[in-house]
């Protein structure tokens, strides 16, 4: 479904589809086997992360001002140098513990607002920098004490549409659950048209993960689904769900409108692993692409589109965080295995 340079008639990506009523859908509970979801989650959890955690959107760390986050119970501060390079380290000043997130960046140097101690990103007075990575859409930080794995030089960044060819937006929310609950939600595609009828129509899982029978690249859910635009207007696609590392689930459109577009769902723990009331951030990056000639207009209108894209993600995650929180509540009280 692409535009062509000749005079071939333009085709709309939209289709009119009535679909069954909500209660008339084919039940999916038999296919959504708890053991299958648990096994897929277990395999995802066993993949290496290199101790890298997603912090947030790349554009959220702006020149001239620090950005503070807490990840796995560890306070982290990030900022950019004058050349735009990223720096990160502990969020407490090594002098008297001032919150560096409230400090200032002067000529690319982080200057504590309590007594003026300056940090240029190098080790100083017991303050040790953290490895950090900016992939152009998201910012990652490596916390070896939190991850507890063998560290890697770079995070596992999913393949995306070519830089400059898409429109990206990043949505962030937080809930009372653990990262595994967020990942388990995304590894249950069967809930789509039942739990989100405002967004999905005719969702069918056409292939389940092959587990130990195949390589990691075959450990995927393949789904045919129609994204609801308005009323009966939908955009049908085929999508693939994979978990490239323990805290990431990737949805990639493989056929139909917007092929190669991705939705990356990253689950970043905010509290320490032994917290009684854990909290997890959902950081979801949407990178939309299309080979239609008119998509250049969408790229030009990216600043206007991003709030709309975040709003769409927010509507879904209002419900999906409730799913993840419920899963944690039942698991933590022994009322449901997980």
Alpha-carbon distances of 238 from 219, 241, 252, 267, rounded to whole Å: 16, 10, 9, 24
Residue 338, pLDDT score: 61
Tokens 């007075």: give the residue: 125
In whole angstroms, give the CA distance from residue 292 to residue 252: 18
Return the higher-pLDDT residue of 44 and 212.
44
Residue 122 confidence (pLDDT) above 80: yes
In whole angstroms, give the CA distance from residue 213 to residue 28: 24
Residue 5, pLDDT score: 46
Counting Cα atoms < 13 Å in the Cβ hemisphere of 144 gives 9
Band of pLDDT at residue 7, cut at 50, 70 and 90? very low
Residue 12, pLDDT score: 66
Residue 2 confidence (pLDDT) above 60: no
**Helix%, strand%, coil% for the chain, nearest 5:** 25, 35, 40
For 124-173, the pLDDT digits (tens) are: 999 999 999 999 999 999 999 999 999 999 999 999 998 889 999 999 99
Task: Give, for 83, the enclosing helix (H) or strand (E).
Answer: none
Average pLDDT, rounded, for the chain: 91
Band of pLDDT at residue 101, cut at 50, 70 and 90? very high
Residue 169, pLDDT score: 96
Percent of the chain with pLDDT over 90: 78
Residue 19, pLDDT score: 67
Residue 16 confidence (pLDDT) above 70: no
Percent of the chain with pLDDT over 70: 91
Return the higher-pLDDT residue of 297 and 269.
269
Q: Are 295 and 305 in contact (CB under 8 A)?
A: no
Q: Over the range 77-92, which residues count as b (16 or more CB within 10 Å of their CB) and which as e?
A: bbbbbeeeebbbbbbb
In whole angstroms, give the CA distance from residue 203 to residue 193: 6
């Amino acid at each position: 479904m692409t535009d062509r340079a000749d005079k071939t008639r333009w085709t709309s990506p939209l289709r009119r589809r009535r679909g069954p009523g909500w209660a008339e859908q084919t039940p999916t509970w038999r296919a959504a086997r708890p053991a299958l979801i648990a096994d897929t989650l277990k395999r995802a959890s066993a993949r290496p992360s290199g101790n890298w955690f997603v912090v947030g959107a790349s554009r959220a760390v702006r020149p001239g001002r620090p950005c503070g986050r807490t990840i796995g119970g560890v306070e982290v501060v990030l900022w950019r140098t004058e050349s735009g390079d990223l720096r990160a380290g502990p969020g407490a000043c090594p002098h008297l513990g001032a919150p560096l997130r409230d400090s200032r960046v002067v000529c690319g140097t982080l200057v504590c607002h309590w007594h003026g101690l300056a940090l240029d990103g190098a080790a100083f007075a017991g303050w040790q920098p953290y490895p950090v990575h900016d992939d152009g859409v998201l910012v990652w930080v490596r916390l070896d004490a939190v991850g507890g794995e063998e560290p890697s030089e770079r995070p596992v960044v999913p393949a995306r549409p070519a830089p400059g060819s898409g429109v990206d937006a990043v949505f962030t929310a937080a809930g009372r659950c653990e990262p595994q609950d967020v990942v388990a939600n995304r590894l249950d595609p069967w809930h789509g048209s039942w739990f989100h009828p405002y967004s999905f129509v005719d969702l069918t899982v056409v292939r389940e993960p092959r587990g130990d029978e195949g390589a990691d690249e075959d450990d995927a859910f393949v789904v045919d689904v129609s994204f609801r635009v308005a009323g009966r207007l939908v955009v049908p696609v085929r999508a693939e769900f994979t978990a490239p590392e323990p805290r990431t689930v990737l949805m990639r459109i493989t056929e139909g409108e917007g092929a190669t577009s991705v939705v990356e769902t990253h689950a970043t723990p905010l509290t320490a692993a032994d917290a009684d009331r854990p909290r997890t951030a959902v950081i979801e990056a949407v990178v939309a692409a299309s080979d239609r000639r008119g998509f250049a207009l969408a790229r030009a209108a990216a600043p206007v589109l991003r709030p709309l894209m975040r709003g769409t993600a927010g509507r879904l995650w209002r419900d999906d965080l409730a799913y993840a929180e419920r899963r944690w509540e039942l698991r933590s009280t022994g009322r449901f295995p997980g």
